[in-house]
Amino acid sequence: MSTEVLIEKGRAPYKFETGNAERPFLRTVDPADNGKERIYWGSDLPRAAANVQIGDVITAKRVDSKAVTITHQEKQADGTQKEVETEAKRNKWEVTKHGHNSYAVLAAYNARVDSPEARRQLEKFNPGLVKARDQIVSAQKREKLQREQQAQQTVKRHSRSL
């Protein structure tokens, strides 16, 4: 169990492989491990991660597992689809929030975006990361502007007192 920063949550074909059924997932980065990414898959993740947002520092922990039978479509050699049953495990997850890490969000965004086209692609596939990054940058700009305004006011007060 490690503490990581959430950079994406959503649904995608399992293991991002074409033809697999869509499953809920969380993607995290571990700032303490050079930004190493980890992906959690599980049908229980939307419930477990309902109260966390992109940029939140989280711990994702599997707390229970039970055997289930899943019915799904499987592509056959002749190209047809056949309904098959597969034994699988249904995991129960616990996702705990420990704070927020804006720097990890910016690093994850910057690692993916090096051109306007890359940003457009990221907006398509991970809009949450783009939105979180834009909110952080806007907040940083507001804070910088406030500091500059405060510095100007201090200079004005100081020059009046001379």
pLDDT at 155: 86
Provide the pairing of β-strand 56-75 with 81-100.
Answer: antiparallel
Give the mean pLDDT of the chain: 92
Count of other CB atoms within 10 angstroms of residue 120: 12
More confident residue, 74 or 66: 66
3-state SS track over 93-107: EEEEEEEECHHHHHH
pTM (predicted TM-score): 0.78
Instruction: Give the pLDDT mean for 126-140.
Output: 96
Q: Which of 48, 47, 28, 31 is nearest to 39 (CA)?
A: 28
- Indicate the angle between helix axes 102-112 and 116-125, nearest 10 degrees: 120
| Residue 17 pLDDT exceeds 60 | yes
pLDDT of residue 69: 86
Whether the pLDDT of residue 138 is over 60: the answer is yes
Q: Are 44 and 93 in contact (CB under 8 A)?
A: yes
Q: For residue 162, what pLDDT is reported?
A: 66
The answer, yes or no, to whether residue 59 has pLDDT greater than 60, is: yes
